[in-house]
Structure 1
Amino acid sequence: MMGEDTDNILYEQVVSVWVRDPRIQKNDFWHAYIDYEICLHTDSVCFNKKISRVRRRYSEFVWLRQKLQANSQLMVQLPELPPKNPFFSLNNAQQITERMKGLQNFLTQILQSPLLLSDSCLHLFLQSELRVSRIEACAAGLTHFSVTQAVQRCGLRRFHSEEDVQKDLSLCCDSDSDSSECRDPEPQIKDLAMNKAASTTLLYSRREETLSSSSGSP
């Protein structure tokens, strides 16, 4: 009886996903791509965050499918992505719409698999702003933040105190950046102060030398 109740609860849980709002993003003057907003609403216990929005491009969907297939060890037959079109145009509304629908259908199908729902890469893809290399690192436990922390940080943009600003500064630098300059701002502040003090001392020394030269001249 208890098992039946549990099955009913799991069955009634809803995971709704939409792929929408295609936008052209420019890398530079010659190169551009389209990314799409992924909106997820759920009451499933599989998700720590019940509502989320992130943006992903087609190549990231390709990475996700390959990663899920490898992680599931071929135990799940994954749905296909919309095929890559060598003649895909950023100005062709019909092609963009068809690809967008295909991406949504792909996500809708994989979110019906309990095995795939246990994959950390899927959760980070859907509910974090990490790029794919950082998703792999986080899922493998190679980052100082957990999967849950990466998900909860997604979309935080407002601050209410100086402490919140400092937390977000640390978050932005650590969550999706390989730059060592972001790791610890305090040494940089100290270095800046020391450099400023050294510059001031040098300035005073030069002034003293100038005054001495002036007083010693006939």
Structure 2
Amino acid sequence: MKGETDDGVLNQQVISVWVRDPRIQKNDFWHAYIDYEICLHTDSVCFTKKVSRVRRRYSEFVWLRQKLQANSQLMSRLPTLPPKNPFFSMNNARQITERMTGLQNFLTEILQSPQLLSDSCLHLFLQSDLSVSRIEACAAGRTHFSVAQAVHRCGLRRFHSEEDLHKDVSMCCDSDLDSSEPETKSLSMNKAASTTLLDLMATSINSSSDSI
């Protein structure tokens, strides 16, 4: 994104977003879901935290779109999400990769809108580990902590540079998405799917607008 300073000099502001690292999370023996890591790297003044990582599932993306639509009444149409597939399989690498591509494209378009960038729910979704119900409460001022405090207290490892972020993305994929977290089963993708995943992780947005 580009913003114009008082002296008329254009100041380049970058917001890069990745959706990656799908993992199967088990609620119990019969119920499981996939969540995805959202990596954000920016120098935009719209964000108080310049580098962050959180995990979100598909249903939370659906909630975010509904919330943004309700909060931005002037916008007639928001970007679409990848459609819900009744035959979606957690063992199908192609379907998972296509969903990640759709989720990343959705965020890419969302982050191009100055109006949406002012929405507290979007910031909490991208940069806090709050549940959607807690996001709603925090954005409405019904919590003992502020939006900024929720973002800052999200205990995620910070990267020293964008190069470190890209390095971590590649290492994560090359290591077959191993995880030592309890009740978590990493997805093993075939070589072709892994290559596709790396390609879409390498995409980022350098979106432009008149002002932020």
Say yes or no: TM over 0.5.
yes
User: Residues 74, 85 of structure 1: CA spacing in aligned structure 2 closer, same or farther, 3 A cutoff?
Assistant: farther
Distance 2:146 2:5 in 1: 33
Which structure has more helix as a fraction of its residues? 1
Residue 130 (structure 1) aligns with: 130
Q: What letter is aligned with 1:54? A: V
DSSP-derived class of the 2:60 partner: helix
1:15, 1:43 within 8 Å by CA — same for their partners in 2? yes
1:44 is the counterpart of 2:38: no
CA deviation string 1:4-39 (max 9, x = no partner)? 726x22xx1000000000000000000000000000
Deviations 1:116-158 (A, max 9, x none): 000000000000000000000000000010000000001258x
Q: Would the aligned equivalents of 1:79 and 1:109 in 2 still touch at CA under 8 Å? A: yes
* Alignment partner of 1:28 is 2:5: no
Higher strand share: 2
Q: Name the SS of the counterpart of 2:25 in structure 1.
A: strand
Tell me if the contact between 1:53 and 1:155 (Cα under 8 Å) persists in the aligned partners: no
**Aligned pairs for 1:194-205 within 5 A:** none
Structure 2: 5+ residue stretches without partners: 158-212
* Structure 1 stretches lacking a partner, 5+ long: 158-218
1:5 and 2:8 are equivalent in the alignment: yes
Q: Counterpart in 1 of 2:78?
A: 78
Report the TM-score, using the length of structure 2 for normalisation: 0.70
Could you tell me how far apart the structure 2 residues matched to 1:27 and 1:129 are? 18
Asked if the contact 1:68/1:119 (under 8 Å) is kept, the reply is: yes
* C-alpha distance in 1 between matches for 2:31 and 2:57: 14
Higher relative contact order (CA 8 A, sep 6+): 2
Instruction: Select the structure of larger CA radius of gyration.
Output: 1
State the distance in 2 between where 1:81 and 1:147 align.
25
Task: Tell me: CA distance 1:156–1:104, structure 2 relative to 1, closer, same or farther (3 Å).
Answer: closer
- Residue 52 of structure 2 contacts residue 156 of structure 2 at CA under 8 Å; is this kept in 1? no
What SS does structure 1 have at the residue aligned with 2:54? strand
Residues 114 and 29 of structure 1: CA distance in aligned 2, closer, same or farther (over 3 Å) = same
The reply on whether 1:100 has 2:100 as its aligned counterpart is: yes
Matches of 2:38 and 2:78 in 1, distance apart? 19
**Aligned position for 1:205:** none
Q: Deviations over 1:145-183 (max 9, x none)?
A: 0000000001258xxxxxxxxxxxxxxxxxxxxxxxxxx
- Equivalent pairs counted in the alignment come to 154
Distance 1:2-1:29 versus aligned 2 partners, 3 A rule: closer
Write out aligned runs for 1:118-157 (5 A): 118-155=118-155
RMSD over equivalenced CA pairs, Å = 1.6
